[in-house]
Amino acid sequence: MMDRYTPPMPIKGLSAPLLRPLPAIFTYADHAVRTGYGGSAEGRSVFTAHLRAFRAMLVSLTRRAGLREGTIQRLTDLCEDLAGAGFWNMPDNLESFKRELQRLHGQHGKLLKDAAREQGEHLRHLFREETGPCRILTIHNDQTWPLAGTLSGHLVDGCWYDCETSHEDEGSARITGADLVLLVAGELPVRQDIEMAVDKADLPLMVLAAGRLIGDRNNMAALRTEHHFRNEGRTVLCGPLAAIRLYQAIDGCRLSAMLGQESFSPRLTETVTA
């Protein structure tokens, strides 16, 4: 095991599109730093795909902002170093990457944010072109079904996933082809047979504890359901439904499953912090 600590990276002032690939990059890199092990080939492939997406988006943004190519040379070199370096170099490369990204935005943040507003759809295309589509299946019960449209909008428009919604009454048939299943629980959990079917299919599963989103934040029945899933070792996310909280938790949960970890704690301070 590698006894190295990688502190969180502040996100204040960073252009939103460049944040999108970071959870997968940091989850994998932090795993390599902690264990000295690269995990599965599938997990490493997701890591390198998100590095390519970050680099492509960065190049597009800086060109749109009218910055010289040399402005980002150090950061693009670090993308290559992270993708190709041995794990013993990962801690230093990861810290250098964070510092260089913050330095770039400290000097050119306004120009990059303006360029990002002008290139929204193009940057989304670049991201999905490099990483490929990721299909999220959300499964609701009667109490959380009214959230289905809002949540789907966040996942598609804010997080750049493909999303399908399902009611628990439809059973587990639609889990086939999903990259991650998101159970949206309120006072009651989603049917246990669906949870068991997701486990049997060996799919990443995450729980959105929606009890706090649909009524009294101190609803004891909803809190008991939330604690039930936590006690099971599930990855549990509570509201609000900000895009960065959703994609950080989902990408972290999905990649952690690929790396053989049982669960992922979606705490912003482990990866980025406002």
The pLDDT confidence band at residue 241, using thresholds 50, 70 and 90, is: confident
pLDDT at residue 4 greater than cutoff 60: no
pLDDT at residue 272 greater than cutoff 70: no
The pLDDT confidence band at residue 69, using thresholds 50, 70 and 90, is: confident
CA separation for the pair 236, 229 (Å, rounded): 7
CB atoms closer than 10 angstroms to residue 69:
10
pTM over 0.85? The answer is yes
Query: Residues 92-133: pLDDT tens digits?
Result: 888 999 999 999 999 999 999 999 999 999 999 999 999 999
The first and second tokens of residue 17, run together, are: 């599109």
Q: Is 10 helix (H, G, I), strand (E, B) or coil?
A: strand
Q: What is the DSSP secondary structure assignment for residue 141, as one 8-state letter?
A: -
Per-residue model confidence (pLDDT) at position 215: 59
- Percent of the chain predicted with pLDDT > 70: 86
Query: Residues 79-92: pLDDT tens digits?
Result: 999 988 666 688 88
Per-residue model confidence (pLDDT) at position 6: 59
CATH superfamily of 133-241: Response regulator (3.40.50.2300)
Give how far Cα 136 sits from Cα of 176, 213, 215, 262, Å: 11, 20, 25, 19
CA separation for the pair 21, 11 (Å, rounded): 13
Average per-residue pLDDT in the chain? Answer: 87
Query: Residues 39-53: pLDDT tens digits?
Result: 788 999 999 999 999
Residue closest to 246 by CA, chosen among 140, 166, 154: 154
The pLDDT confidence band at residue 25, using thresholds 50, 70 and 90, is: very high
Higher pLDDT, 34 or 169: 169
Mean pLDDT on 151-173: 96
CA separation for the pair 112, 65 (Å, rounded): 6
Per-residue model confidence (pLDDT) at position 121: 95
Give how far Cα 102 sits from Cα of 13, 14, 82, 108, Å: 9, 8, 17, 10
The pLDDT confidence band at residue 71, using thresholds 50, 70 and 90, is: very high
Query: Residues 242-259: pLDDT tens digits?
Result: 899 999 999 999 999 998
Per-residue model confidence (pLDDT) at position 195: 94
Residues in the chain: 274
- Percent of the chain predicted with pLDDT > 90: 65
C-beta of residue 185 within 8 angstroms of C-beta of residue 207: yes
- Which amino acid is it at 122? H
Higher pLDDT, 206 or 40: 206
- Residue found under tokens 């599938």: 42
